[in-house]
Amino acid sequence: MTEVKMTQFERALDEALGRALHPPRVPHDFPAHLSAARYRADAPDLTELRTRFEQERREQLQTLKTDYVRVRRSTLGTLLGIAFATGAAAVMAMPWLRVHLGPYTPMAIARGGTELGLGIGFFEPLRRIVRQWSDPL
């Protein structure tokens, strides 16, 4: 390793600073106390860490469970509402459809139900209406 050569000015500055600034007096066992304090500050209490992590995990699981139940209830309400509305619409529209479509009436009802389901799945205004209707359940 190469040694840095000090200029005469730097050497004089170091000597002057050494005369002007004196290091504070510390007890002879200060380094041992300092390293022990640093170790205590850096090392967390494992039981405290475990307790904190377990509490966070319980809170996360409770949040997930609550959200899961809410989604299930919302989905069930949506499906029941759609099934009821589709059945009622089919019963009311069946006589009119038989007159106008004849033998193709069952196919038209199946297609209408499919289109309604796709509309609820992909068309945001319909999804919003269904969500608003099913959330109070």
93 vs 110: CA distance, rounded Å: 13
Each residue's pLDDT tens digit in the chain (137 positions)? 445 677 888 888 888 888 888 777 888 888 888 888 777 776 677 787 788 889 999 999 999 998 888 888 878 877 787 788 778 877 888 888 889 888 888 888 888 878 877 777 777 787 777 777 766 55
Asked whether residue 55 is assigned to any structural domain, the reply reads: no
Q: What is the pTM of this model?
A: 0.41
Q: Is 28 helix (H, G, I), strand (E, B) or coil?
A: coil
In the DSSP assignment, the letter for residue 104 is G
Asked whether residue 107 is assigned to any structural domain, the reply reads: yes
Asked whether residue 17 is assigned to any structural domain, the reply reads: no
Range of the domain at 87: 75-137
Asked whether residue 126 is assigned to any structural domain, the reply reads: yes
How many distinct structural domains can be found in the chain? 1
Asked whether residue 30 is assigned to any structural domain, the reply reads: no
Asked whether residue 133 is assigned to any structural domain, the reply reads: yes
**30, two tokens:** 């200060």
Contact 120, 127 (CB under 8 A): yes
Asked whether residue 123 is assigned to any structural domain, the reply reads: yes
In the DSSP assignment, the letter for residue 102 is G
In sequence order, the 6+-apart residues with CB closer than 8 A to the CB of 66 are none
